Structures are given as structure tokens and as C-alpha cells.
Structure 1
């Protein structure tokens, strides 16, 4: 799958982020809990240049709970602060605020010893499009209109949002795009709806989706589509069985592959198929 990306946008975002980091104490890297690797930019750590970082796995309610547990073990082993959240419902936001405070405690204690009291923690949220950055900011601040006005910064577009008397978020129009090291990253982003369906082959993406589900979540396919298959059933045969079950056929009894693919991609994006994770960490 040849998915075209936007390196010009990424270069602009990186420049903005580097400038904004001068004002920041903690970076919150927002990823999609279903694809924590593919929804993260591999250049983030170099970009933030040693700043404290918290990984926030959004949409964790849509991911496989058992795979979430594996990611939890992974981040603990790596000594990487992390929080699972659902920005829409607000689940996990209290834990996020507590993690920000815990992460900054050594710095705040040091400042307090020097007589610098009541210093606010300044945070920046980084995330690729459609991982829920705006929703998280609005949820964690309590309402969408909590911008506290401009402060001395890089550009007039920078807005500080008050989370509490102790924490502020810097809201910036900058975005950070992932780097496609291989086509599977773009494929997973397509499955969760993070890229437009006009820039990839939907039928091929649907076939790859069925290959993955057949291997990792065979019960999901059977429960939803009530079709029989085994490990020797190809993705194309599986798609054809689903199409016939749904009566997605055209004149002459031929399979309507386009309509079937559209349905499959739509159902996985809307989580009609249930809680599914598309990648998980290596485990011992």
C-alpha cells in the first residue's frame, strides 16, 4: 500500500515544537491505545531533548483489555510514566493529573527549597491527528473556553489553558505526523480512521484487516458475520463469504468487493466489531 504523507507539515510542526519546548516542563505524548507504536512518532524523544515525558494512551476503552495489560507491563519495565485514558468520558484524567504532579515532584521540591513557591507546571501535548488531542485538552480543562490568554511565548497563536492552580497546558496549532518506516504503520492508521480513505486502497486495507482478525481475533469475525472458516481460508475467500452473507452481490451474482470493503473498514472504525488492539509489545 503506497500511502503518501506530508513531510512539509511535519517539518513545520517540528520547528514549532522546538520553540515551544523552551516554555515547557512536561511533554504529554498522546497515542492511540490500539496502536501505541504506529500512532507515535519515533522522533519524539530526540525532538523533546530530555524533557520529562508522559505517554497517554487515549481511546483505551476501545482497545483489548488484555493487550492494555501487556502495554502496562511494558511501560513499567521501561520506567516510562504512562496513563490509560478515555478523553471523551474523562476516565483516567485524574490519574493523568496525578502523574504530572508525581513526575515533576523532584523539580518542584528543589524549587521550593530555593524559595520559589507556587510554581505552575507547564505541559505540552503532542500527538498525531485524530488521536484526540483537542478532546483531551477540553476534557482535562473542564470546558472548551478556559483559555487564559496570551503569555510571553513564541507566537501569538500560543494559548495557555488552565487545568488547575498547579498545572497549565500550552495549546499550539502545531501537529506532529508519524514517520512511515513501513507500510504496516499506514495500514493500522487506516484501520482506526486516522487517515483519509482517499489516499489508500480500501479493498486492500480490508483484506489485510481480515488477515489480521483471522489470526488474532477469529471469534470477532465469527460472532459478527456468522461465517465458517479455518486457518487455511484466505482473506479473499473470507471477504467473499462475508459479502454473500450480507448479500453484497451485483448483477450476475458477482461479489461487490468495493461495498464489502467499505463495510468492513467502517465497522472497524466505529468499533462495531468490539474491543480490538492492532499491536502489542514484545513480552518475555
Structure 2
């Protein structure tokens, strides 16, 4: 399964972000806590360059709590200010402005020493599609201004939004990169909903998800689909057929695949992290 998706509005957004980065003090990089590396757009390092950055691991409730702590420590060691949040439930959002002020401590001190009046921090919010940017914007602003949706590519334009007296936000559309060099990353993004389902082979994606849960969370897989421990070790194609039969779909594997994918995305198999911290070294070496 080869996954590619780079609509025209994303190419335009990339240019606009590059042009407007000079107007902001800090960048809020929103990533999916379930895939802390795979949901980071590698092009953003070139665009953001040396701007201070606050990495926000969103959807932290859907991710493995132990993995959240390890990834937060990893990013902190890389020199980034980092928070684990849940924009949907408004958890941790109130920590963003104070953390941004910490990241900009020296810059703000220099401005005060020059006699400049205190002003709102200007921030740009970036992230790939469906990572929860619009929901976060709405939480920060305190009312529904940014357009939200549960599918990627909802936000097509850029807009400045004000959050109280301390923060001004520049919203941007979610931007994927033109080519996934590693198809494993494409599968991870697809499984969490960052890529439109119409572009996918759902049976392959469902089997990828089953394979992951059989490896890292076999007990959950067994409990959810009434499987024995031995059945969780079946080849994934056979496992998909067995689950389809148990759920009453018989040989309608497309419906069974769609059901499995949606249950993984909604957290019905429990919290999970696709990018495993313990495999970090191997992932970096491969790149």
C-alpha cells in the first residue's frame, strides 16, 4: 500500500507559512501523542528554523501514558519546551501561555530592558491534518472561531485570532509533506486518520493495526474481539477473517476492516502509541 497525499492548498499553505514566520515570536508545533515522530512534518524544521518552539503532544488521553512521559522527556532533551495536552477535553491547555512565556523569557526580558511596553505573544500554530489544531485554537480563543472537523484538511486558509491579552495566534492549515520516504509512517498516519480514507486500502490498514496490537497490546485485542491468547498470534489475514466472522460480518471484510480502524481510532482498544520510544534509536538510524 503506497500512500501519498499533497493537495494544492497544502503547497500554498507551506509558502504562506514560510512568508509569515518572521511575524511571530514562537511556534506551537502540534503533534499527535500517538505518533510523536511520524506526525512531525520534516519540512517544518526548514521553515521554522531558529524560532523558539513549543511542542504540544495533543490527544494525550488516546496515547500510552508511559510513552507520553518518555517522549516528553525526549523532546525536552532536544531543547524544546514540551507539554502533553488534550485539546478536546481542555486538559493542559491553560499551561500553554505560561510555557510560551518561559520559552521567550530572554526575549521578553530584552524588550523590557529597552523600555518597550508589554505586548501579546505572537504565535503560529502548525501541524499536520487532523492533529487537533482547530480544536486547540478554539480552546485558546475561548469561542468557536476556527473551523473544526473530524477529517483532515478542514482549515484551508490562515487567520489571526486573539486569546485574551497575552496571546495572538496565527492559524495555518494542516500540511503534509509531498512524499513519504518511509511507508511505515504513511500507515501510521493513515491509521490515526491524518489521511483521507478514500485514498487507502482499508483491509491492509486494518491488518496493520491488528498486527500492532497483537505485538504490543495482545490482551486488549483478545478482550475486545473475544479471542483466545493463541488466536491473537494468528497471521493477520486470518485474524481479520476471524474477527469478521465473530462480529457477524461473515465474508464482508471491507466492513470488518472499517469497523476495526474506527475502533482503534476512537480508543475502544485502549490508549496506544504507534511510535515506540524504545525503538527510537532504530528509527533514527534508519533515517
* TM-score scaled by length of structure 2: 0.87
Counterpart Cα distance in 2 of 1:171 and 1:93? 16
1:247 correspondence with 2:243? no
C-alpha displacement of 1:240: 2.1
Report what 2:99 is aligned to. 99
Tell me what 1:276 maps to. 272
After superposition, where does 1:1-284 map in structure 2 within 5 Å? 1-6=1-6, 8-145=8-145, 159-172=159-172, 174-178=173-177, 179-230=179-230, 232-249=233-250, 255-281=251-277, 282=279
**Structure 2 regions of 5+ residues with no counterpart?**
147-156, 282-287
Any idea what the Cα deviations from partners look like across 1:226-252, whole Å, max 9, x if unmatched?
A: 112447521122122212221221xxx
Distance in 2 of aligned mates of 1:219 and 1:189: 24
- The unaligned stretches of length 5 or more in structure 1 are 147-156, 250-254
Distance 2:76 2:4 in 1: 35
Alpha-carbon distance between aligned partners in 1 of 2:145 and 2:259, rounded to the nearest angstrom: 37
Query: Which residue is equivalent to 1:154?
Result: none
Q: Would the alpha carbon gap of residues 84 and 232 (structure 1) be closer, same or farther in structure 2, given more than 3 Å must change?
A: closer
2-side partners of 1:194 and 1:10: how far apart?
Answer: 14
CA distance in 2, matches of 1:48, 1:283: 23
Superposition RMSD on alpha carbons, in Å?
Answer: 1.9
1:68 and 1:261, CA in 2 relative to 1: closer, same or farther beyond 3 A?
A: same
- Answer with 58-67 or 229-238: which moved more: 229-238
Larger CA Rg, structure 1 vs 2? 1
- Scaled by the length of structure 1, what TM-score is found? 0.88
For these two proteins, the number of residue pairs brought into alignment is: 268
